[in-house]
A and B are shown apart, each in its own frame.
Chain A
Amino acid sequence: MDFKHYLQVLKDHTPYDFSNYSDNSIKRRLQKVIADNDLSIDELLAKTQNDKAFVEQLVEDITVNTTELFRDPEEWPAFYEVLLPALKGKKTFNIWHAGCSSGMEVYSNMIILNELGLLDKAKIYATDISHGMVRKCKNGNYRYEFNKRQLQAFETILIKHPIAGISKVDFSKYFDIDHEKDQITAKEFLRKKVEVKQHDLVQEKSPFYCKFDIIFCRNVLIYFNATLQSKIYQMFHRQLYPKGAMILGSHESLTGFYKTKFKKNGPLYVKTNAFHYKYH
């Protein structure tokens, strides 16, 4: 099957437009979904046009939902080294986790903010394209065994490289642990703190009325082609306050025009006020 034809059918019959995802990655994901579901092309096309639940599951399956608590633990102290002075001086600040998946990074960030005594000042927003992931992020409910490994990461951040003098913190301060069910659930004060919405970045507009001090978008835009990436950077630039910061994945970098509109400060891309002449 020509996957571009399929993406067009999907775009015409559902709210989802994957046509500007990078060719190879979307092709790979589609092939996986087709194989996992054991579908013929005709069945796939029929279900796409008639079966809403199938489409929701498809969106969840073709998007990559890898996330973990404190992913890249060595980077978090660096984020906050740069962010902290500015955040401390603010009365309130807004953070958007764009493409939050099941929300583990959202909770990681809230835990760090709480340890820094900054959570009360923060407004936390999170979005994902998949309704299923939005539900998971709201529920803050994860597998214990998987996350047990991340405890080490948690300690790396909080103990081995203390941010602003954080001392040892017990994991159970933030999660209820059910060993029998192999589950952890984020405490209610964290779950209540975050506003989670279904939202597709491809629409190139923010689903919130406010501007942001920080936008986390880690390992999301790597699945988009360069043209779409550039449009998303433009949208983020618009949605950030002056000197607001964008945080990308550890192996993502800005290319093209928007490279000049952000200044790299450590692992952060900070919105600049630089004035650019129009040449044409």
Chain B
Amino acid sequence: MIKANYKAVVIGGSAGSFSVVSKLLSQLREDFPLPVIICLHRLKHVRSGLVESIRLKSKLEVIEPNDKQTIVAGKVYLAPSNYHLFVEYDNTFSLSTEEPLNHSRPSIDNTLSSAAYVYRNKLIGIVLTGANKDGAKGMKDIADKKGLTIIQDPKTCEMDTMPKSVQRLIKPEKVLSPDEISKFLNQLAI
């Protein structure tokens, strides 16, 4: 176990990330001590289905949060379809239907950047496989606030554009395979 003073994990992913997230959540230990905030690109009009599928594998409770819902440790939060998901200073979420960012709503940059400002150096940011650059700026914000940055090893990605665009802006602290990501998270003790 690594004793570390983190407050949240935030994960972004796009093309190919669904199976990675499912696997990750099936591997995370039941008493995982942090909230896990996930923003995945998805088809606009396929609202249901994603959260249900992710729930099937997860040992932790998976929630699509409502506006102003309080963030609780040990729960998994999935950005609802067609909304941007932001983390607020009072440890709640806020939702917005503002215009898409990087052609996406939810946009990973929005979730990652807002979390970076709130949790600062106590945040772990992870960007997974994906076919665009959404998330890169958010990861830079996390790095700027001295949070921990992890990308999925491009060699293990279905689409490596997303982690590689992170590498164009910063040097991520860890480049890990999906199995290594869950192994790393599971040894965190708060």
Asked if B83 CB lies within 8 Å of chain A CBs, one says yes
Find out whether the CB atom of A251 lies under 8 angstroms from the CB atom of B64.
Answer: yes
Give bound CA distance, A62 to B80, whole Å.
23
Query: Which listed residue, A24, A29, A250, touches B94 by the CB 8 Å rule?
Result: A24
By a CB distance below 8 angstroms, the chain A residues around B48 are: 74
Of the listed stretches A162-170, A173-181, A218-226, chain B binds: A218-226
Give bound CA distance, A152 to B88, whole Å.
35
By a CB distance below 8 angstroms, the chain A residues around B172 are: none
By a CB distance below 8 angstroms, the chain A residues around B82 are: 72
Find out whether the CB atom of B65 lies under 8 angstroms from the CB atom of A251.
Answer: yes
By a CB distance below 8 angstroms, the chain B residues around A255 are: 68
Find out whether the CB atom of A24 lies under 8 angstroms from the CB atom of B88.
Answer: yes
By a CB distance below 8 angstroms, the chain B residues around A28 are: 98
Counting residue pairs across A and B whose Cβ atoms lie within 8 Å, the total is 57
Find out whether the CB atom of B66 lies under 8 angstroms from the CB atom of A251.
Answer: yes
By a CB distance below 8 angstroms, the chain A residues around B65 are: 251
Find out whether the CB atom of A153 lies under 8 angstroms from the CB atom of B45.
Answer: yes
Give bound CA distance, A226 to B96, whole Å.
15
The closest CB in chain B to the CB of A67 belongs to B97
Give bound CA distance, A255 to B93, whole Å.
14
By a CB distance below 8 angstroms, the chain A residues around B67 are: 221-222, 249, 251-253
Give bound CA distance, A153 to B47, whole Å.
12
Find out whether the CB atom of A22 lies under 8 angstroms from the CB atom of B88.
Answer: yes
Interchain nearest-CB distance for B46 vs A (Å): 10
Interchain nearest-CB distance for A253 vs B (Å): 5
Q: Which B49-84 residues have C-beta < 8 A from chain A?
A: 64-69, 80, 82-83
For this complex, 30 residue pairs linking A to B, each with C-beta atoms less than 8 Å apart, are A22-B94, A24-B86, A24-B88, A24-B89, A25-B86, A25-B94, A28-B98, A64-B96, A64-B97, A64-B98, A66-B97, A72-B82, A74-B48, A152-B45, A219-B97, A221-B67, A222-B67, A222-B68, A222-B94, A222-B96, A222-B97, A223-B96, A229-B68, A249-B95, A250-B80, A251-B65, A251-B67, A252-B67, A253-B66, A255-B68
Instruction: Using CB atoms and an 8 Å cutoff, list the residues of chain A in contact with chain B.
Output: 22-25, 28-29, 64, 66, 72-74, 152-153, 219, 221-223, 226, 229, 249-253, 255
Instruction: Using CB atoms and an 8 Å cutoff, list the residues of chain B in contact with chain A.
Output: 45, 47-48, 64-69, 80, 82-83, 86, 88-89, 94-99, 114
